[in-house]
Amino acid sequence: MGRKAGVLVVQRIAAGLVDGTQVAGAPNLFPEKGESHDALLAMPADAIAARIAELVSSVAGGEPPTVLGVGFPGIIRNGVIEESPNLQQIKGFRLQAALEQIFAEGGRRVPVRIYNDADATAAGIAATRGVLHKLNRVWTLGNGVGFGRYPWAEGTWEGGHTVVTLDPKEQFCGCGGRGHLEGILGYRAMRMRFLDLEPEEVFANAKGGDPRCVDFVSRCHRALAAATATSIHMEGPGPFYLTGPNARWIDIGVLDRLVHEMVKMSPLQGSRIELIPPSDELGIVGAAVNAERAIAG
């Protein structure tokens, strides 16, 4: 029987054994709940790899998994982290080779595959809902804006950096590019835009009718609708899932209406948008499922 393991790295590392489409038991975390989320920022790439291997060995209880999938933020290609804006020290790091090497040194052969974290979440949603035969897309709203899709496909897929405005003053994206979705909807970008208010206060004030905040919240919805419409125009209609710590600020009804205003061609109708509570488990399951399918294929 195959024992596949999955890992999701976002602000912390979460590792679990995956049984079918569920995490068996509670995921192993580093840093643990309640500890500072900044621990990864100061860790060298080698140390992050060592910690991932340690957590996986510990959940696997001594017996190595048959396959390990890792979801990691950034642009991932062939097991290499080509770019990871929030963990700069790992840029260029060959994470897949490093992990396979650590297991090999312990006398175990564990094939490893690395995916973008949002792609892992998209795979987890598709697996847990039994829709692995369909195109599933996900927006993750947090410090940045992630875009994931299942089935995994070769490409860059940096949907969070979709250009949604031609306004040259829109320059808050963490990547430095102008007019990007993340420059409007990313948490870091919101803090730079509203130097006097935290993003939580902006959304609360908008509910209270503050015109400046109402205007911004409307812009957030239009920006996300525009990026979604672009994805529909490129890849066709289908379900979109919205998750991550800040997805709760989005009014799905408003978003849905805006997308329908932006997508009018009849063969492209029929998309729907659904809010999914953030969870490490979806990414763990998805990374493991993607890796298992990649190795089997």
**Distance, CA of 66 to CA of 70 (rounded, Å):** 14
Pick the piece of the chain touching Zn ion (CB under 5 A) from 177-185, 219-227, 258-266, 285-293. 177-185
Angle (nearest 5°) at CA 98 between 93 and 104: 170
* Minimum CB distance to Zn ion smaller for 146 or for 239: 146
- Report in angstroms how near the CB of residue 65 gets to Zn ion at its nearest: 35
Instruction: Report how many residues bind Zn ion under the rule CB under 5 A.
Output: 5
Shortest distance in whole angstroms from residue 186 CB to Zn ion: 8
Amino acid at 166: L
Which residue in 177, 238, 245, 278 binds Zn ion (CB under 5 A)? 177
DSSP state of 24: E
The only residue of 4, 113, 137, 180 in contact with Zn ion, by rule CB under 5 A? 180
Maximum CA extent, the chain: 63
Q: Does 214 sit near Zn ion (CB under 5 A)?
A: no
**Can residue 163 be called a binding residue for Zn ion (CB under 5 A)?**
no
Query: According to the binding rule CB under 5 A, does residue 175 interact with Zn ion?
Result: yes
Q: Which is nearer to Zn ion, 150 or 172 (CB)?
A: 172
255 CB-near residues (< 8 Å, 6+ apart): 221, 224, 225, 228, 242, 273
Give 115 or 172: the residue with its C-beta nearer to Zn ion: 172
Q: Does 83 bind Zn ion (CB under 5 A)?
A: no
Instruction: For 161, list phi and psi in degrees, rounded to 5.
Output: -105, 20
Nearest distance, CB of residue 163 and Zn ion, angstroms: 9
Rounded to an integer, what distance in angstroms lies between the CA atom of residue 151 and that of residue 250? 25
3-state secondary structure of 134: coil
Interacting residue ranges for Zn ion, rule: CB under 5 A:
161, 173, 175, 177, 180
